[in-house]
Amino acid sequence: MVPTLSIDELSVSFAHRTGTLGAVDGVSLRIAPAECLGVVGESGSGKTQLFLAVMGLAGNARVRGSIRFEDKELLGATARSANRVRGSKLTMIFQDPMTSLTPHLTIGTQLAEVLVCHQGLSWREGRDVAGRMLERVRIPEPRRRLSQYPHELSGGMRQRVMLAMSLLCEPALVIADEPTTALDVTIQAQIIELLRAMRGEAGTALALVSHDLAVVAGLADRILVMYAGRIVENAAAGELFRQPRHPYTAELLKCVPSLSGPRLARLPTLAGQPPQPGDALQACRFAPRCPRAADRCRIERPALMGTSTSQVACHFPL
């Protein structure tokens, strides 16, 4: 079975005043059809840069490696062939619903535009399909929204519009980059529910990128944990939470405060901070903060190893 998305040894780096900055360092992953992959990491983990590179939005960065979508290579493909795929079969939703939509065009125009460009529909047909998609994403008063402008909608509604836009051409994969971070908790719950429903109905694969483990927990089949540009653990969702194998994952889980469980006098913490641009890096980038670090970790980079369902990049996994 051909994976929907197949990334091999992807590196994204930026030229910086102080040298090159490796935002993503040798990442490989697979997303199977209809699978939901959660990608979790904190600032500097590279999770956003990874998917921006997939969508061709990496800007000035140098991107090396291989990105195959449904077995067609995207890196190095002509802009034309890549653009046929991006925006129709491979789509992305961004974090800030306020800036993702063009302020001076109506919702209807922006949605119809996707269909006109990718599927050759007429504007009238496009608006029609758009209206039906807005119904599917359960936006209140869908037909009315078509003639409204983005600033007339709330954050939650804008995010629904973004989701509608990403689903218009029946994509094989939707990348959602922190889709609920800018939203209130109660609205976030609605959007998570919506994403769950969409997956069920359309069978679309979903790459859910977030710093919030709990959000990812509710949706993902499998979870990748990233730290300082590398994947450190790859496991089924339930497994990851029950039995994390990488020390970073374990510490991160301890740091997430919960609504149940005992109240603590002091919050658990992870000492130090993620590597900043310009910091000297050890072979295992987590070593400076790792309670289990040994000399080997400072000189030998741990490779991602394990079975097909569970992998970890650590010399001394839990």
Partner 1 sequence: MNKPLLQVRNLRVDFGRQAALRDVSFELFPGETVALVGESGSGKSTLARAILRLQPARGSVEFMGLDLLESPAPLMRAQRRNLQIVFQDPLASLDPRMSAGDAIAEPLQIFEPQLNATERRQRVASMLERVGLSAALVNRYPHEFSGGQCQRIGIARATVLHPKLLICDEAVSSLDVSIQGQIINLLLDLQRDLGMTMLFISHNLAVVRQLSHRVMVMYLGKLVEIAPSDSLFAAPVHPYTRALLAAVPQIPPVAAAAPLSEGSLSADSITAGCAFRDRCPYALPLCASSDPPLTELPAGRWVACHRSHETLNPLS
CB of 126 to partner 1, least distance (A): 26
Q: Taking CB under 8 A as the criterion, which residues in 168-207 touch partner 1? A: 184-190, 192-193
DSSP string, 132-150: HHHHHTT-SSHHHHTTS-G
Judged by CB under 8 A, the stretch of 22-30, 112-120, 165-173, 264-272 that binds partner 1 is: 264-272
Decide: is 212 part of the binding site for partner 1 (CB under 8 A): yes
> What angle in degrees, to the nearest 10, is found between the helix axes of 107-119 and 155-167?
10
CB of 51 to partner 1, least distance (A): 19
Among positions 26, 33, 65, 218, the unique one binding partner 1 when judged by CB under 8 A:
218
Three-class SS state of 37? strand
Do the Cβ atoms of 146 and 106 come closer than 8 Å?
Answer: yes
311 Cβ contact partners less than 8 Å away, ≥ 6 residues apart: 231, 233, 234, 235, 304, 305
CB of 160 to partner 1, least distance (A): 9
CB of 99 to partner 1, least distance (A): 16
167 Cβ contact partners less than 8 Å away, ≥ 6 residues apart: 91, 133, 136, 137, 174, 198, 202, 204
Cα distances from 6 to residues 14, 60, 132, 159, 224, in angstroms, run 23, 23, 32, 27, 14
Decide: is 92 part of the binding site for partner 1 (CB under 8 A): no
Among positions 43, 81, 102, 147, the unique one binding partner 1 when judged by CB under 8 A:
43
Instruction: Give CA–CA dist 214/255, Å, rounded.
Output: 12
CB of 264 to partner 1, least distance (A): 6
Paired tokens of 170: 């029946």
Do the Cβ atoms of 199 and 241 come closer than 8 Å?
Answer: no
Cα distances from 186 to residues 48, 167, 217, 263, in angstroms, run 24, 23, 17, 24
Decide: is 267 part of the binding site for partner 1 (CB under 8 A): yes
Binding mask 112-131 for partner 1 (x = CB under 8 A): --------------------
Residue with Cβ nearer partner 1 (26 or 155): 155
Among positions 18, 60, 258, 307, the unique one binding partner 1 when judged by CB under 8 A:
258
Among positions 28, 241, 281, 315, the unique one binding partner 1 when judged by CB under 8 A:
241
Decide: is 211 part of the binding site for partner 1 (CB under 8 A): yes
Decide: is 233 part of the binding site for partner 1 (CB under 8 A): no
Residue with Cβ nearer partner 1 (157 or 165): 157
Instruction: Give CA–CA dist 198/25, Å, rounded.
Output: 32
Measured at the CA of 58, the angle between CA 57 and CA 59, to 5 degrees, comes to 95
Among positions 102, 122, 243, 273, the unique one binding partner 1 when judged by CB under 8 A:
273
Do the Cβ atoms of 225 and 240 come closer than 8 Å?
Answer: yes
Judged by CB under 8 A, the stretch of 8-16, 18-26, 115-123, 210-218 that binds partner 1 is: 210-218
Paired tokens of 190: 């609605």
Decide: is 1 part of the binding site for partner 1 (CB under 8 A): no
- State the residues that interact with partner 1 by CB under 8 A: 42-43, 140, 154-157, 184-190, 192-193, 211-215, 217-218, 238, 241-242, 251-253, 255-260, 263-264, 266-271, 273-274, 276
